[in-house]
Amino acid sequence: MICPDPSSPQTAIEPAELLAQYVPTVERIVSQAEQRVFQGVMLAADEKVYSLFEEHTELLKRGKAGKPIEFGHKVLIAQTGEKFIYHYRVLPKREEDKEILEPTLKAHKQLFGTGPEVLATDKGFYENMKQIFDLEEKNITTVSICKKGRRNQGELQRENTEEFKENDDEIDLVLNRMVNSLSFSVPSATETN
């Protein structure tokens, strides 16, 4: 008999019961392999199973050099200028960063009674310059969201201001600190082959 968590009030689970939980997932994995290998069917990323033990795991195309693909879930972390994490969310299904910006701003306003003075995010949150202007109209004095791709002269000037650079650099520092302190190690697609 196996007891998954000694502190749990659950009774012990027989090994056969434990293994039986994985049968539907194994059947799905076998079916997907047959479709892909024998029938040449290309399955959508959202339909594939990437982990037997964590069926909800997603394929994340990050676009990073050396790790273009990772597995897991996106995590949203919002913090104050004093480094206090006031909001976080593990995204259960793939959502674009720009889709979660408004709910995050609402969470800030709900907690603090006002919107943030400074908003600093990575490029994934960038939608267009209208979005930037709309955010600035909400009394956010510094909107530090880098544009993806080529920039015109005005966009370059905006991204080269002292306030913008200071907040943009801070994002990289915070993310690197979190990854290093929590010892995250996510295998890339090339490492799993």
Kindly tell me if the per-residue pLDDT of 188 is higher than 50: no
C-alpha 56/C-alpha 17 separation (Å) is 21
Among 192, 190, 189, which residue's Cα sits nearest to residue 45? Answer: 189
Chain position carrying tokens 């994340």: 60
Each residue's pLDDT tens digit, 30-56: 999 999 999 999 988 888 888 888 878
Backbone angles phi, psi at 147, to 5 degrees: -80, 145
Q: How confident is the model over 51-75, as a mean pLDDT?
A: 78
What pLDDT, on a 0 to 100 scale, did the predictor assign at position 193? 34
Closest CA to 164 of 104, 103, 123: 123
pLDDT band at residue 3 under the 50/70/90 scheme: low
- Region 95-117: mean pLDDT is 87
